[in-house]
Structures are given as C-alpha cells and as structure tokens.
Structure 1
Amino acid sequence: MNNQDKMLQLVLSDDKLYKLYEYNLEDYTSIDDALDSDNPIVAVVAKIIKGISGNPDKGIHKEVYNEVINYLNQNIL
C-alpha cells in the first residue's frame, strides 16, 4: 500500500463522509479502485489525492480543480 492509498483510506474512513455518501470502504483499497468507482464522491477524492499528491505546483492544482469540477458537473448535476 503506497502513500496515496493510505491517504485515500484515511479520507474515506471519515464518519461524516461515509454516512452521507454511503459507500463501502472495503471496496476501495487503492487509488485505482476508487478512480473506477461508480460513486462520484469516491472518484473525486481519488482524483484529488492522485492529482496533487506531493506536487506544490499551483498550475497542477488548478488543473486538478478544473478536472474535479467538470467530473462533478457531468456525474452529479
């Protein structure tokens, strides 16, 4: 398990997030599992972690933000 997978587990184990979006934490043991999720919130968490992990570049952060917004608009709205 790499650091991104550990971060994913930490975020997805949040009680409020888990209760609100009703996902099974055991289904998402890796970033790749979460990126393939049908649950848009799980997929977005994975996109954010993978996109900005260890990268201080503000340009990359903006790209990740745009990707997340577009994904949410297509999958939730």
Structure 2
Amino acid sequence: MANTTSAKKAVRKIARRTAINKNRRTRMRGTVRKVEEAIASGDAAAAAAAFAVVQPELMRAAQKGIVHKNTASRKVSRLAARVKALG
C-alpha cells in the first residue's frame, strides 16, 4: 500500500490512466470486430464502411500508445487486404 503522499497521488493517476486506456483499447477492438464480422458475412459494403471507421481508430490507438505503431499498421494492412478481396 502507498504510504507517502506522492505515492498515493501516483496510484490515483495510474488508476485514472488505466481506465482511459482500457476504454480506448475496448473501442479499438470493437471496431476491428465489426470489420471482421462484416467480412465473415460476405457483405462488401458493410465491410468497407466498417473499415473506414477502424482505420483512424487503430492509428489513434497507436498515437496514444495503446498499441505499437507497427502493430496498428499491420492490422490496417491485413484488414484492407481482406476487405479488398471481398469486393
């Protein structure tokens, strides 16, 4: 348990930051899942629309440090290839 005032403040800051990061990570995963579901159903229009939402979401997550920049780029690239193959 934190004993000093600064350690107690650090615990509060970490908890607040963890909640923010968890929300961003959940939102990112949800948008990726929507694209994958549209691809699985074979709906090219829905997949393209969902991909247009997921691309900036992934890049924002990379910018905020939720995922690494290369990880976000790789996910965007692979999703783009799957959406393109669908249509």
Instruction: Give the TM bin, normalised by the shorter chain.
Output: 0.3 to 0.5
Bigger CA radius of gyration? 2
TM norm structure 2: 0.37
Report the TM-score, using the length of structure 1 for normalisation.
0.41
